[in-house]
Structure 1
Amino acid sequence: MPLQVSNYSWQQTSTAVFISVPLRGVSVRDADVFCTENYLKVNCPPFLFEVFLYAPIDDESSKAKIGNNTVVFTLHKKEAAMWETLSLSVDKEMMQKIREKSILQAQERAKEAMEAKAVARREDQKYTLNVMMKIEEEERKKIEDMKENERIKATKELEAWKECQRKAEELKIIQREEKLYHQEKQMEEKRKKLKHKCLTGNSASKNFATKGRNSGNIFFEKLKEDNIPAPRSVGSIKISFTPRVFPTALRESQVAEEEEWLHKQAEARRAMNTDIPELYDLKEEEKNPEWLKDKGNRLFATENYLAAINAYNLAIRLNNRIPLLYLNRAACHLKLKNLHKAIEDSSKALEILTPPVADNANARMKAHIRRGTAFCQLELYVEGDFPNPGIEPVSHALQEDSLPLSHQSYSQRNSSH
């Protein structure tokens, strides 16, 4: 049977009530605190303290601090007034009714909190999905814009090349026509000169006739020279030779020796590259990042931190989007006092755990704690950003010296009280 605590002390103001309950050996882990508007109970075996409050309080904003064998409560009154006494004088039947009513209120609040949490989780999932869809849409639009820009650029380059080719062809045609025109003009001038020489002779002597025939021959030779086509352009001819086959008798074949040499070369390359896992064949289980994460966890449990880091490194190379791999590797670096690497891994995990939602709150908390621990060990207390000690709100679940009043699980309470 629990021991009722009666040697408590209390003080009050017009807006708050302060209760100090001495409990020997009390700790945050063992104490079970239950508080509603009109009822307060602390169960710390073998001690039990309960009080039926004189007037309603605001249990959401109330606080409790456990330490030095004492539980100190700060209860905020709903109405500003001075109480005549702390506890009401009621009989056992009324006490039981108040207890049952308080438990029902706690159950309703827990149910409402669960429903609100489920709604918030659905909203977070919807928000995350919308954010991811928006990011993917932006990436797709960016890729489409890049493709369109490249297409426009290639089209412009092709049009410019075609225009350049067209101008080059036109220039060649113009140069060819000009050359033909000059050749025809030169031939016409030569023909006129020869005709003038033939007509200006004083006699029709045989020598002159012979000379005229010779001149005519020269004229026709010039015409033949001018009509000779231009030499062909220089080019290259590609020749492909048929491979020659030298059949070898089976007794003289060296295929087996060549295969053995290739096998030894592959083994030598594999032996030289054993420190790089990507360059040699992995086993089937070693290709699974989850299997490597579990292996690293087992090595961490045996305090083999370097081997655990190697397992996490290989898992990260296989899949670098799993935040737990960076968190676990940061824990190994903390053990080995690799503080800067621990900060880098914690920051990388926080970068992956975006956007911040309720589902990844636990992982983000671990990342902040490990990064803050590394900063504080480096004596960078501002970057560490640890909260100051003291009395924190009841809803603050990270402080070891604070205990929520209205959010305790009623399933852990003593059903007899």
Structure 2
Amino acid sequence: MPLLVTDYSWTQTDSMVYVQVPLKGAKAGDVDIVSTDEYVKVHYPPYLFEAFLFEPVHDDRSTAKLGDGVVVISLPKRSSKVWENLMITTNDKERKREIRQQALMKYQEKLSAESQSKAEKKHAEKKYALETMMKLEKEERESIQKMKDAERDKTTAELAAWQLRQKQQAEDEEAQVKVQSPSQGYQSRSNATGVETKEPGRSEQRRNNETKCKRKEVDLPAPRLTGNINVTFTPRVFPTALRESRVQEEEEWLRKQAEARQVINADVEELKDLKEEHRNPDWLKAKGDKYFANGDYLSAVNAYSLAIRLNRKTPALYSNRAACHLKLRNLHKAIEDSSQALDLMTPAVAANAVARARASVRRGSAFCQLQLYAEGLLDYQAALKIEPHNEALQADVQRIRDIIQGSAANTDTQGDA
């Protein structure tokens, strides 16, 4: 049974009532305060102070301040008049129980409304951030498309101008050839002294050029012969006892990895304009890793996303992008990418054990940041099963367990109060 606090004090003005309750050495985090328009409660085990107010107050404007071993509760009066007492003087326990129950119900409704308001505000903020991000990405895509179109139009115009010049030059040469006499091998002209000399005509120059070109073609070496080189590999040997052998799973994993390296979606229309290196998933992954190391997480996400569009079978791309989403606080996307990476890392073998542990930790971290501690604990335990001697993982698992147990203990304490 709680001990009732009797050494409280109170003062009043025409519009306010101030109540001071000593905390008796209790910490601020252990004090539970409930305030409504007719009831005030301060509970810090094993002590309890409750007041059935003499007159109603404005609950929405009431405040409570903790400090120097005392809590000061400020209650704005609804009517500007002096109270005879702080509390009602009735000894009717049924009446007090009714007031207490109504006050607690109002307080719970108030907390529920505040929680719902916070959730709606948080949802609206997330929605606004997502819409803003989508708008920025759309503008960026449109800007890139405009640059591509402008570059394409410029290149097309330059090509058309070059073709027109070539055509005009060919027509000029053909016109000059027609002006000359077909049988004329030399043209006559007068030099500065009036003596007429002869020089080779255009037809003769053209024949000389053709002769030189033919001579050069004759001097070129013959093309090399083509052929195929057969490459064989020795089978991989797994040093594992026969009763514990997982050769079949290991071979399946290696086959999937080989297929993943060969699958490239080169038929995506909008990717055909990219450079050859930009259509290489390995090059893009290395670029994303470099961006991540430099703290440019948004650029790393773009690099990993383009690599995933080219090759959707590589789990490392999803796992690395999940790490970027964790840094950017895109927690739901981090969970989605980590789950996709874990789905691709099947069967579970020693070759992908480290990668599976890393993806599990990233998904568990995202769950915990969303306050889904039970789901996060499962992922951390899965990673700890792979690396049982990892002290950091052991500490994280224990910390999550303490949070879960602390939440349950707090719930029980509030129910008792």
Relative to the length of structure 2, the TM-score reads: 0.48
Greater RCO, CA 8 A, separation 6+:
1
Using structure 1 for the length normalisation, give the TM-score.
Answer: 0.48
